[in-house]
Amino acid sequence: MPKMPSDESTPLIVSENERPKHKLPVKQLAVLVICRLSEPICLTSILSYLPQMIRSFGVPETDVGFWVGITASSFSVAQCMTGIAWGRLSDRVGRKPAILCGILGMLSSVLVFGFSNSIAMAMISRSCIGFLNGNVGILRTVVAELVPERELQPQAFSLLPLTWSIGSIAGPIIGGFLSEPAKNYPAVFPPGGFFDRHPFALPNMFTAAILFMALVFGTLFLEETLVGHRHRYDPGREVGKKIEAFLSSFFTRLTATGPAYKHSPVPADEETAPILASHSNNYSSTTKSPSPAAHHPHHPHAPLPWSQVLTRQSVYNIVLYFLIAIHVVSYDSILPVFFSTHEPTAKDPIRLPFHIPGGFALSTAQIGLIYSVNAIVTMLLQFLLYPPIARHYGSVKLLAISAAVYPFIYFVTPYTLAITSKNWLYASWSLIVLLKSITGVFAFTSSTILITNTASSIRVLGTLNGFATSTAAMGRAVGPSSFGWMFSVGQRGGEWTTIPWVGLTIVAMMMWIWIPKLVEGDGVSGESSSSSDSSDEEEGAEENGTEVIDGERVRGIEFVEPEREDEGLGEELEEECKKVKGRRRRLSMGSVGEQ
């Protein structure tokens, strides 16, 4: 039987240097990455072939840009309508069921989109992807619940944009090289065959297979993180645990040699234990747990009022997120149209400074390669550059840098068509791709962290991220349709063909109004509990080994409740535990200075 330390030798306040350093819950984050990876592949794969798909419906060339914008934005219109509902639903039924439903809805809708033979069918199926999927905000909420420690947030929150970058590499490649297979690979896919009649089905079938894999992984290995639902029976997770146990046993036997195999496994200590414990573990962290009520599964919290969801800083950050969504997604929407449009002709030549008709007449494969190169650069920057810079300068400053660079990118883009030297053209687009990658990393990751850290309580994270998702979806709906229409109007004639690019520049400059109002938040891990949460805070403190004295949490007081099912912990150990708890209560009635 383990021996309990005596009262005299038990430290009540652990110094800063003695506190355990927390580590990222790698396994759960890896499952989230798999679930997240399928979405950018689904959404970005159409960028390579959507203009050609619209043309295949018999749309006039001058209207292609408009209908590309409308079709692309139909997803965001639907997501805007249901994003808050998905966030609220995840606050009630749990994060995992909502995530799995989103993946399943996307899987079925993407198959319908691949077999679309009209604009109406393409728009309806694209809208269904948005209606049936609210995973963007929910996945951010799960990351926030897994990693409440502010020092780990740049790494943790970088994973989702990093995953987006990886998916953005694969998506355009899948769309560019698998679309129109009978045209591009006639030896493999004969003309007149199935894929000739459905030229855009193959990339969507491939995407559906990836979504199915994400659905299986999520069902088997994703843990629930919502307070009050963590101990709920999960048949899929039970099967996953059996698979994990089998694989662990198999590889242990495979690698074991000699008597070392007979050694008992060493219990995980504070350094190696995951931040989110499994169902059989108790929380013993010396920092504030993201779930004070984790041990009260039968008393789930009701949703908080909107006044606690939308604080002033939350509103500022969501408005900024809305503006970012408008100009970034609009640029990504009209850029492939710009790339695929015919080159300027002798009848309609370039007349600087404002009349720049046409485009580069690139193929779907070439457009896919450009987007993939951009995604590769973004991924490397996300992984290598953002975490150390964010820790040093903070998210607000990085967001300000992106706001300064975006207008330059948008304004110079159409003028690259006037460059006659191929070397200068390649150099110009290399610079644009690099700057776009840097600003994208800084803007989206910083905005995500800032929105999360404005949450007044862990209980509002799902709703807050759902509201942010809906607001951003509104921007993604309004932006591509509006700027796609501007692009089409410019291509029909007239002197102002640069209107969409100037408009994007103005929208990006509007970020300058809001950024000075932002402050770096402490995050939900450092929040002060409101009066409505005070009782929950004290319950959480009692179970997590921390004291709440005069409304403040005193960290570093370690106490671990004995597990009832552990046969090695008997009455003697429980008596020792009661002594330590009594000593802590006496401390709370005495004079304790702020830590």
pLDDT at 588: 44
- For 332, residues 6+ apart whose C-beta sits below 8 A from its C-beta are 47
Instruction: Say if residue 328 is in the same domain as residue 458.
Output: yes
Q: Can you tell me the distance from the alpha carbon of 359 to that of 344, in angstroms, rounded to the nearest whole number?
A: 7
- What does the DSSP assignment read for 361-424? ---HHHHHHHHHHHHHHHHHHHHHTHHHHHHHH-HHHHHHHHHHHHHHHHHHGGGGGG---HHH
Cis-peptide, bond into residue 154, ω within 30° of zero? no
What's the mean pLDDT in 56-79?
85
Helices 26-44 + 95-114 axis angle, to 10: 30
What is the per-residue DSSP string for 135-174?
HHHHHHHHHHHH---GGGHHHHHHHHHHHHHHHHHHHHHH
Cα(403)–Cα(47) distance, integer angstroms: 24
**Residue 529 clears pLDDT 50, i.e. is over it:** no
pLDDT value of residue 1: 47
> Tokens representing 491?
């291509």
In eight-state DSSP terms, residue 344 is P
Closest listed residue to residue 502, CA positions, set 327, 272, 266: 327
Q: 139 is written with which tokens?
A: 């996945």
Hey, which of 172-186, 290-304, 377-391, 545-559 has the most confident mean pLDDT? 172-186
100 CB-near residues (< 8 Å, 6+ apart): 215, 218, 219, 222
Same domain, 576 and 485: no
Task: Give domain status of residue 477, yes or no.
Answer: yes
Class of residue 56 by CB neighbours under 10 A (exposed 0-12, middle 13-18, buried 19+): middle
Query: What is the pLDDT at residue 302?
Result: 55
pLDDT at residue 337 greater than cutoff 50: yes
Q: What is the pLDDT of residue 358?
A: 74
Q: Which pLDDT score is estimated for 578?
A: 60
| Domain identity same for 572 and 474 | no
Q: Would you say residue 296 lies in a domain?
A: no
248 contact partners, CB below 8 Å, separation of at least 6? none
In this structure, the answer to whether residues 188 and 109 fall within a common structural domain is: yes
Q: Is residue 149 situated within a structural domain?
A: yes
CB atoms within 10 A of CB 571: 7
Query: What's the confidence (pLDDT) of residue 223?
Result: 92
Residue 419 in any domain: the answer is yes
The pLDDT of residue 235 is 92
Q: By three-state DSSP, how is residue 42 classified? A: helix
pLDDT confidence of residue 561:
43
Q: Are residues 207 and 114 in the same domain?
A: yes
Question: What 8-state DSSP symbol labels residue 526?
Answer: G
Looking at residue 523, its pLDDT comes to 59
In a domain, 34, yes or no: yes
Residue 564 and residue 444 in one domain = no
Whether residues 463 and 322 share a domain: the answer is: yes
Both tokens of 226, joined, read 């919502």
Please report which confidence band the pLDDT of residue 517 belongs to, taking 50, 70 and 90 as the band edges. very high
In a domain? residue 516: yes
Give the residue from 481, 496, 525 where a domain finishes.
525
Type of residue numbered 550: D
CATH for 521: 1.20.1250.20
- 73 and 215 together in one domain: yes
Whether 370 and 176 have beta carbons less than 8 Å apart is answered as: no
Q: Is residue 568 part of a domain?
A: yes
pLDDT higher than threshold 50 for residue 161 = yes
Same domain, 426 and 542: no
Alpha helices in 454-568 (DSSP H): 461-491, 499-509, 511-514, 534-544
The answer as to whether 67 is a domain residue is: yes
Write down the pLDDT at residue 194: 92
Please give the pLDDT value at position 554.
Answer: 42
Same domain, 492 and 441: yes
**Residues 447 and 496 placed together within one structural domain of the fold:** yes
Domain region containing 86: 26-225+305-525
Q: Give CA separation, 555 vs 287, 288, 339, 388, 538, in Å.
A: 6, 8, 57, 27, 13
pLDDT value, residue 396: 93
* DSSP β-bridge partners for residue 351: 355
Q: Do 174 and 203 touch, CB atoms closer than 8 A? A: yes
pLDDT tens-digit readout, 392-432: 899 999 999 999 999 999 999 988 888 888 888 888 888 89
Q: Which amino acid, one-letter code, is at 508?
A: A
Better-predicted residue by pLDDT, 491 or 194:
194
pLDDT value, residue 257 = 53
pLDDT grade for 224, boundaries at 50, 70 and 90? very high
Q: Is residue 461 scored above 50 in pLDDT?
A: yes
**Mean pLDDT, rounded, for 179-193:** 90
Examine the fold and report which residue of 504, 525, 546 is the final residue of a domain before the chain moves on.
525
Q: Distance (Å, rounded) from C-alpha 167 to C-alpha 454?
A: 28
Give the count of domains, the chain.
2
Asked whether the predicted pLDDT for residue 220 surpasses 50, the reply is yes
Which of 525, 543, 566 is at the close of a domain?
525
**CA 277 to CA 156: how far, in whole Å?**
17
Give the residue-averaged pLDDT of 538-556.
42
560 touches 282 (CB < 8 A): yes
The answer to which of 55-64, 197-206, 276-285 has the lowest mean pLDDT is 276-285
Q: How many C-beta atoms surround the C-beta of residue 254 within 10 A?
A: 7
Percent of the chain with pLDDT over 90: 24
pLDDT of 157 > 80? The answer is no
Dihedral (Cα; 386, 391, 396, 398), 10-degree rounding: -30
80 pLDDT tier (thresholds 50, 70, 90): confident
- Contact between 286 and 545 under an 8 Å Cβ cutoff? The reply is yes
Please report the pLDDT score of residue 559 as a whole number. Answer: 41
Q: Are residues 452 and 557 in the same domain?
A: no
Q: What is the pLDDT of residues 304-329, one digit of tens each?
A: 666 677 888 899 999 999 999 999 98
